Amino acid sequence: AGRTDAGVHATGQVVSLSGEAPVDPHRLRSALRGLLPRDIDAYAVSAATDGFDARHDALTRRYEYRVLPGRSSALRRGRVLEYYRDLDDSVLDTCAHEVQGRHDFRAFTPTRSRHTRFTRTIIEAAWDRRDDERVLVIEANSFLHHMVRVMVGTMLETASGLRSVVGFRELLASADRRDAGPTAPAHPLTLVAVTYPAEVAS
């Protein structure tokens, strides 16, 4: 359903396949779990309507990016960004609010890009507090290459006082990639859900 960067995790990835003969979903799931590498699992298998395409029929994709401020954790090191600058939570919230809606996000994707259109619609963007972590929950109709990771890197700089909220807001006015912040690491990012029209995913 989505092509992610190397190192990005997925708990809600969707894959479609077609065949000439009917296949029992339970048997297929058992076969997949025996064949897949140990770091990939098939949570569920179900029949879809004829012609269903996991990528092209998707309406939205939802990601989460986990940040652990001000400390380290050996147990979570492969799943969070350890961030050692002080963060202003109210600024994080403001930045998330600013990116919601339809914008030109060319400042948040590499200058050399396969994309020809840079307008995307963000349906939801919010920073959740989960114990000692800050988690960006973001859902859109689609995403540009590196878009969430550049967005996170820029939001963190803004919330730690390295850039202004006004400057962050100006990035949504078709600014250059060089004006945005760094690309945050891939490993704290997870694809958590994909939505489809009810009539094609039944």
Q: Which two tokens stand for residue 162?
A: 């390295």
Residues 187/77, Cβ–Cβ less than 8 Å: no
Residue pointed to by tokens 């939505």: 195
Residues 152/136, Cβ–Cβ less than 8 Å: yes
Alpha-carbon distances, residue 50 vs 16, 130, 139, 202 (angstroms):
11, 40, 27, 10
Residues 183/146, Cβ–Cβ less than 8 Å: yes
Residue 94 host element (H or E):
helix 89-99
The span from the CA of 98 to the CA of 173, in Å, is 12
Active site residue 5: yes
Catalytic site positions: 5
